[in-house]
Structure 1
Amino acid sequence: MTTFSVGSNKFRLNPFALLVTLLAIALMIKLGFWQLSRGAEKQAIMDQHISATSVGTLPLQDEQLLELVKSPQQTVTWQGQLHPRHYFLIENKIHEGQVGYEVIALATLPASHKYVPVNLGWVPAAAERTTLPKVTLPEQPLQLAGHVYIPEQPFLLSAQQPELVWPVRLLYPELRLLTELSGYALTPFIVRLNDNAEFGYIRDWPIVVMKPEKHYAYALQWFGLAFAALVVFLFASCKRPRLKNFAKQ
């Protein structure tokens, strides 16, 4: 225990309490800056959406794939055919309070050996996990249109190890895993099918799930908590002088 004085106040610093407080403050400050960075990322996505909207719809071609990686939210169109059996079900997707799956099919890309992963939308899950939703994919060539989407790198405690039985169920649509499991060369992005497509399932594609302003508000809260933790620690460590009672007994 270390004791020192500042004016009329004495401070007793417990090394363990000091260490815990400093670690907590460091963690809260780190979380605050993380929220700031997430807010900046969401703002960039919204800006990209505005930019892509001004460009309009582009034809999807093999030689443009790498450029489109730099232009998420860009709307593209092409004629392709969906693979009838090989598709993915992304688990634990919520729509209006109900649990379900997002269906990702594989569409051919003209004049290319690649397939395009296309998110066709949301389907409800059955009460029993062993019962898969009924998914019927069109067999004829289709005029496809949607916007480029690059899934965020998920935080997983362990790597996904799905069973290779079609349709394959996944927790997250990792592009590397989609390529590995399908055995096909895939585009370096997913296309989310347009809302006005005549086929597909329930589609509700928000530009961002959480707006930048909310991330900035959370950052302010974390910084405020860090400051409050420091104030509480200093207050708890302060030993004020006791007032002497000179009154005669």
Structure 2
Amino acid sequence: MSVWLAAAAGISLTAGLGVWQMGRADQKQAARAELDARARAPAWTGADWPCEGDPQSLPRHQPVRLQGSWWHARSVLLDNRPMNGQVGFVLVTPLRVEAPATCRGRVILVQRGWLPRHAQDRTAVPPWPQPEGAVEVVGRLDTDVSRVYALGEEPMPGPTQPVIRQNAPVSFWAAWLGESPRPGVLVQVQSELSDAARDPLRRQWPEPDLGVDKHHGYAAQWFGLSALLTGLTVWFQIIRPGRQHKVRNHDNAR
């Protein structure tokens, strides 16, 4: 009886974990559908962008169309960012926008695009467009600029250009700009230049991976283990003893 109880517990546990993983996959699929629906919503302008708040609460993938002027002197290159199999930099430039009367922040961070890194000289960065005056920037909303794992804190940069860093957290931007930018970041998806062919910045940003396939894979593993436990239990507790009993009866009959 203890074998049956142990088998039932194991089968219930593994099947339950499979069901739980399927539920997580359904949640991620619903989140994916929400992102896709949001991407079709009307574009935000500077007046729609929140003045403050938790960036994690922002509606990711919300389309945005901002008008403002670039703050080129405070551009930052984020290092070790691959794109299409190449290693390079993600360029982040603050954009000065018209702020509502109730909003003190006039700066929104823009993840403008990607540039390749020189194979021998890390600081040899290709030139990028630096248009002056008013521009219109089209993109989508995200919660933060690109981040990678890094050990320790990076010091504040000196006056030399270009500024290359592994990461640029909110605390860095507050010190670097002399003011806190508004929450979130605009991920630019098309060039602001009238002649887009002259723009060397690449913008093949990866779509967010919500891990739906991962949960499906885990669920398949748990359901497979549950089926294996069921099969082994039936074999060793029912089929095999039954066959042995028939063999013994046959031998006794002889």
TM-score, with structure 2 as normaliser:
0.67
Q: CA RMSD in A?
A: 4.1
Cα distance per residue 1:78-122 (max 9 Å; x no partner): 121323144241533322x22222211112223554311111111
Please tell me the residue identity of whatever aligns with 2:247.
K
Residue 196 (structure 2) aligns with: none
Cα distance per residue 1:197-223 (max 9 Å; x no partner): 2256112246x345x8x93x6544433
Query: For the Cα contact (< 8 Å) 2:150–2:166, is it kept in 1?
Result: no
Alignment map for 1:1-249 (pairs within 5 Å): 2-4=2-4, 18=10, 22=13, 28-52=18-42, 57=43, 59-61=45-47, 64-66=48-50, 69-70=58-59, 72-89=61-78, 91-95=80-84, 97-111=85-99, 113-127=105-119, 130-131=122-123, 133-136=125-128, 138=130, 140-151=132-143, 161-165=153-157, 167-170=163-166, 176-177=170-171, 179-180=173-174, 182=176, 183-198=178-193, 199=199, 201-205=201-205, 208-209=207-208, 215=212, 219-237=215-233, 238-239=235-236, 240-241=240-241, 242=244, 243-245=246-248, 246-247=250-251
Please tell me the residue identity of whatever aligns with 1:150.
D
Cα distance per residue 1:50-78 (max 9 Å; x no partner): 123xxxx55423xx322994474223121
Separation (CA, whole Å) in 2 of partners of 1:119 and 1:113 = 18
Separation (CA, whole Å) in 1 of partners of 2:18 and 2:145 = 23
Separation (CA, whole Å) in 2 of partners of 1:129 and 1:135 = 14
Query: For the Cα contact (< 8 Å) 2:137–2:188, is it kept in 1?
Result: yes
- Following TM superposition, by how much is the alpha carbon of 1:46 offset from its aligned partner in structure 2, in angstroms? 0.8
Q: Unaligned stretches of 5+ in structure 1?
A: 5-10
Separation (CA, whole Å) in 2 of partners of 1:37 and 1:87 = 36
Query: For the Cα contact (< 8 Å) 2:140–2:189, is it kept in 1?
Result: no
Q: When the two structures are aligned, how many residues end up with a matched partner?
A: 226
Bigger share in strand: 1
Quick one: structure 1 residues 152 and 137, their matched pair in 2 at CA, closer, same or farther if it must change by over 3 Å? Answer: closer
% identical equivalent positions: 12
SS of the aligned residue for 1:3 comes to helix
Q: Unaligned stretches of 5+ in structure 2?
A: 52-56, 194-198
TM-score, with structure 1 as normaliser:
0.68
Quick one: structure 1 residues 65 and 47, their matched pair in 2 at CA, closer, same or farther if it must change by over 3 Å? Answer: same
